[in-house]
């Protein structure tokens, strides 16, 4: 193949299927969404250009380990080219035509392709079915329609009945397509379907080759610069590229976390892997006894990883994962963070993991109670004084340095955290307007209810978290109240999905007639004031009184947990 060339998709699929074209280990994972995949096929069906594929001729002396486009590790031998740029496009074609369309067929249902909701997430992927709209002509009519899997496949069945053809029939065996067209009485549309198929398989890809005389660092620079446009290279993927030089497989290491039961807390809270890398950096600063701990910025991470060697990187990763998981477990067990949506500030995980690591390495467990009290104060006062709203990397470094000094059990040093002071009157005023569920204080208040127990107001264990309106949206809308009043934090609580199903449309003044009983213990835990017995019908005045009363109880709880010992 010459330096610049054109090949069709069929040829490319054969090369990738036979592992002649492979991915170097510094390449990120597949990150495209269902809509991006659909857009690619639509562009190709219309003959639009999609950008060049950049390859590097394989050489046995290169340190790159390879994987196949299907994600399989250890892609064998006999490679011809590494794919340097164009992975997302080629993988989309490979997944749809080679993998998705080669699954076993079931006449009663459609095949699905599993796609992650976001890159590097440990959450379970979502399943999509891809349908061909063979009648698309206008730009507003897309050739490919992705459909998220629905209960019992009802939506997928409806799309087939409306004449849409699942892509596995388009790219599968001709006899299977014929049987499908006959079953749905659309045999007359076969020519349009075959035309679409041929447009894709015969589409010419522009191929460019990298200079074979570049050194390894130049290839990585090319890779990073190419990926600064389009679907941007994430910070995690950039770090993976740097670490690949020492043959540290960052993506593989991160995947292993999801299958290791020792790290279930990380998976439960779906922690961004960048926080593990940041923790690696901070723990290294602690171990080196740095006088001033630097912020775990991407710039500092780059320098740290470039200077590190493989054995040290492996040890640092294992240490960071262990302590990040411990920090996540503390969020769940001690701070009521039962769901990732309840984490007030995710960067605080780095601070917490770092200080827990230092304490365990330096001090006897007998000092644990005093240590935990100080950490509790730091955590809650940071949340309710909005410490991590800005400059989070700098805040991590500053707080770790302060906590290292303050948690030393022999000095008896008094707390000097002037920037943590919470003005309760200002907080009370803010709570009166607080209705944004992404606000750290909003999340913190929901967690306050769950610190001592994972039970909701009905006494059910919260397994599937939902954010519940105490007085219902309908009742309050009928009063003419606006959304901030309806959605105010004083009218919200954490609740299990099963409980929400039973009381979700019932306001507390109606509980008695629906045989719903709330114990005094649960009311106190949830900071719920008693509903006036005379409130047989809710009014704007009565609701306002409830908001004020509950805000007082919330403020009282915040005062208690942020009091300095």
Q: Which residue has the higher pLDDT, 55 or 26?
A: 55
- Return all residues near 518 (Cβ < 8 A) that are at least 6 apart: 457, 458, 508, 511, 528
Tokens 């730009």 correspond to what residue? Answer: 139
Q: Which of 86-95, 218-227, 277-286, 466-475 has the lowest mean pLDDT?
A: 218-227
Cα dihedral sign for 310, 315, 319, 321? positive
Query: What is the per-residue pLDDT for 564?
Result: 73
Q: What is the pLDDT of residues 192-202, one digit of tens each?
A: 999 999 999 99
Whether 475 shows a pLDDT value over 80: the answer reads yes
Query: What is the per-residue pLDDT for 183?
Result: 84
> Per the structure block, which two tokens stand in for 526?
């949830």
Question: For every residue of 122-174, which 3-state class applies, written as one string?
Answer: CCCCEEEEEEECCCCCCCCCCCEEEEECCHHHHHHHHHHHCCCEEHHHHHCCH
Q: What is the pLDDT of residues 486-509, one digit of tens each?
A: 999 999 999 999 999 989 889 998
Distance CA 399, CA 405 (A): 10
Q: Which of 216-225, 345-354, 389-398 has the lowest mean pLDDT?
A: 216-225
Across the range 70-78, mean pLDDT stands at 64
At 371, the pLDDT band (50, 70, 90 cuts) reads: confident
Q: What is the pLDDT of residues 111-145, one digit of tens each?
A: 778 887 777 777 778 888 899 988 777 777 888 88
Query: What is the per-residue pLDDT for 391?
Result: 86
Q: Which of 181-195, 258-272, 542-556 has the lowest mean pLDDT?
A: 181-195
CB 444 within 8 A of CB 379: no
Q: What is the pLDDT of residues 348-364, one digit of tens each?
A: 999 999 999 988 866 66
Whether 407 shows a pLDDT value over 80: the answer reads no
CB neighbour burial string for 2-30, b if at least 16 within 10 angstroms, e if fewer? eeeeebebeebbebbbebbbbbbbbbbbb
Distance CA 215, CA 199 (A): 38
pLDDT, averaged across the chain: 85
Query: What is the per-residue pLDDT for 167?
Result: 86
Phi, psi of 110 (to 5 degrees): -105, 155
Strand-pairing partners, residue 493, are 468
pTM to 2 decimals?
0.72
Q: What is the pLDDT of residues 155-207, one digit of tens each?
A: 777 777 777 888 888 888 888 888 888 888 888 889 999 999 999 999 999 99
Q: What is the pLDDT of residues 277-328, one digit of tens each?
A: 999 999 999 998 877 899 999 999 999 999 999 999 999 999 999 999 999 9
């Amino acid at each position: 193949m010459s330096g610049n060339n054109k090949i069709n998709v069929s040829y490319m699929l054969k090369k990738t299927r036979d592992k002649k074209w492979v991915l170097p280990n510094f390449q990120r994972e597949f990150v495209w969404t269902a809509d991006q995949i659909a857009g690619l096929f639509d562009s190709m069906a219309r003959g639009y250009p999609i950008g060049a594929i950049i390859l590097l001729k394989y050489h046995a002396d290169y340190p790159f380990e390879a994987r196949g486009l299907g994600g399989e590790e250890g892609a064998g031998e006999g490679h011809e080219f590494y794919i340097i740029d164009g992975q997302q496009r080629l993988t989309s074609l490979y997944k749809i035509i080679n993998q998705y369309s080669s699954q076993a067929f079931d006449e009663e249902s459609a095949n699905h392709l599993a796609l992650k909701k976001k890159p590097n997430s440990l959450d379970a992927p979502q399943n999509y079915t891809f349908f061909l709209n063979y009648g698309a002509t206008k730009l507003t009519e897309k050739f490919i329609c992705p459909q998220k899997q629905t209960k019992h496949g009802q939506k997928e069945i409806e799309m087939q009945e409306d004449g849409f053809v699942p892509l596995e029939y388009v790219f599968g065996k001709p006899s299977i397509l014929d049987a499908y067209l006959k079953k749905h009485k659309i045999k007359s549309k076969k020519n349009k379907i075959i035309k679409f198929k041929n447009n894709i398989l015969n589409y010419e890809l522009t191929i460019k080759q990298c200079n074979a005389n570049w050194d390894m660092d130049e290839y990585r620079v090319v890779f990073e610069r190419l990926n600064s446009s389009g679907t941007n290279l994430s910070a995690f993927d950039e770090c993976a590229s740097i670490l690949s030089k020492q043959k540290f497989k960052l993506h593989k290491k991160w995947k292993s976390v999801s299958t290791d039961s020792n790290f279930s807390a990380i998976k439960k809270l779906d922690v961004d892997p960048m926080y593990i890398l940041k923790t690696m950096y901070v723990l290294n600063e602690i171990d080196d006894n740095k006088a001033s701990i630097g912020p775990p910025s991407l710039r500092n991470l780059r320098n740290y990883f470039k200077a590190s060697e493989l054995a040290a990187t492996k040890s640092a990763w294992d240490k960071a994962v262990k302590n990040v998981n411990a920090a996540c477990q503390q969020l769940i067990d001690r701070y009521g963070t039962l769901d990732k949506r309840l984490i007030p500030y995710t960067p605080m995980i780095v601070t917490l993991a770092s200080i827990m690591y230092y304490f365990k390495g330096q001090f006897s467990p007998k000092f644990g109670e005093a240590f935990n009290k100080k950490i509790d104060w730091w955590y809650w006062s940071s949340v309710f004084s909005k410490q991590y709203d800005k400059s989070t990397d700098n805040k991590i470094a500053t707080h770790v340095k302060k906590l290292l000094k303050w948690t030393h059990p022999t000095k008896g040093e008094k707390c000097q955290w002037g920037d943590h002071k919470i003005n309760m009157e200002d907080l009370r005023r803010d709570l009166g307007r607080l209705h944004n569920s992404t606000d750290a204080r909003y999340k913190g208040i929901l967690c306050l209810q769950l610190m001592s127990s994972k039970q909701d107001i009905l006494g059910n264990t919260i397994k599937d978290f939902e954010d519940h309106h105490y007085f219902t949206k309908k009742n309050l809308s009928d009063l003419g109240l606006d959304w901030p009043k309806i959605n105010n934090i004083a009218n919200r609580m954490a609740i299990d999905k099963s409980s929400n199903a039973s009381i979700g449309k019932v306001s507390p003044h109606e509980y008695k007639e629906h045989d719903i009983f709330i114990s005094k213990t649960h009311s106190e835990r949830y900071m719920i004031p008693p509903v006036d017995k005379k409130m047989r019908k809710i009014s704007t005045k009565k609701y306002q009184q409830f908001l004020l009363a509950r805000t007082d109880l919330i403020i009282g709880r915040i005062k208690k947990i942020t009091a300095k010992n």
